[in-house]
């Protein structure tokens, strides 16, 4: 299933379609595996569609363990095999990110809870959406699973889910 129409769970996304610049921030715990990979996948989709000037795409973590680091080496290797060069430097999400971005995309429920805790207003909280809500229903995942303590298949699964979810998110925004 593809969400070519307006996404049912997030009707406010429709209002972003007409916005000249759409600003998307991907969030996970460490900002070294899932969210920098989502950033890389989304940037590649936007570039392939000649749409880079209409999107600002970044990522951040709710935790502060790896600030300044490149993405996890395993994530970089798996992403590189699919053509994504991940060069993001880890940073922690801040309350001002809710002003600087239109959509704050969480990878799992724990990310969402942590984001709700720092969202400065109700409008800010409404910017939070779940990445897995955009993945094809056939993936059967309601979150993007943390691959940090997993093997190679965990990283491949993350990339499969992100490629599906980012393509559908882009379809909802273009």
Active-site residue flag, 90: no
x/- contact string, 64-83, with ligand 4NP (CB under 6 A)?
-x------------------
Question: 108 Cβ partners below 8 Å, 6+ apart?
Answer: 28, 132, 143, 144, 145, 146
- Which of residues 10, 24, 26, 31 is near ligand 4NP by CB under 6 A? 31
Q: Which of 23, 34, 76, 112 is catalytic?
A: 34
41: which 2 tokens? 């996948």
- Residue 146 found at the interface with ligand 4NP (CB under 6 A): yes
DSSP single-letter state for residue 127: T
Q: Is 166 in the site for ligand 4NP (CB under 6 A)?
A: no
Shortest Cβ 21–ligand 4NP spacing (Å) = 26
Q: Comparing C-alpha atoms, which of 134, 73, 137 is closest to residue 105?
A: 134
Calpha distance 3→171 (Å, rounded): 7
Name beta bridge partners: 10: none
Site for ligand 4NP in 101-120 (CB under 6 A): none
Is residue 40 a contact point for ligand 4NP (CB under 6 A)? no
Torsion from C-alpha of 163, 167, 169, 174, nearest 10 degrees: 150
Q: Which of the residues 28, 33, 90, 166 is marked catalytic?
A: 28
Any catalytic annotation for residue 34? yes
Binding status of residue 34 toward ligand 4NP by CB under 6 A: yes
Residues that bind ligand 4NP (CB under 6 A): 28-34, 65, 146, 148
């Amino acid at each position: 299933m593809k969400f070519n129409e307006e996404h049912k769970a997030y009707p406010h996304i429709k209002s972003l379609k007409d916005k000249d610049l759409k600003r998307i921030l991907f969030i996970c715990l460490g900002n070294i595996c899932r969210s920098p990979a989502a950033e890389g996948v989304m940037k590649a989709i936007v570039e392939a569609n000649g749409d880079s000037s209409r999107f600002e795409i970044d990522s951040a973590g709710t935790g502060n363990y790896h600030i300044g680091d490149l993405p996890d080496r395993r994530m970089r290797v798996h992403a590189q095999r699919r053509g994504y060069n991940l060069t993001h430097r880890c940073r922690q999400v801040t309350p001002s990110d809710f002003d600087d971005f239109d959509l704050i995309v969480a990878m799992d429920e724990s990310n969402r809870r942590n984001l709700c805790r720092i969202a400065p207003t109700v409008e800010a909280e409404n910017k939070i959406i779940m990445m897995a809500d955009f993945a094809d229903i056939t993936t059967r995942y309601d979150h993007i699973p943390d691959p940090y303590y997993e093997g190679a298949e965990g990283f491949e699964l993350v990339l499969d889910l992100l490629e599906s979810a980012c393509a559908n998110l882009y379809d909802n925004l273009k």
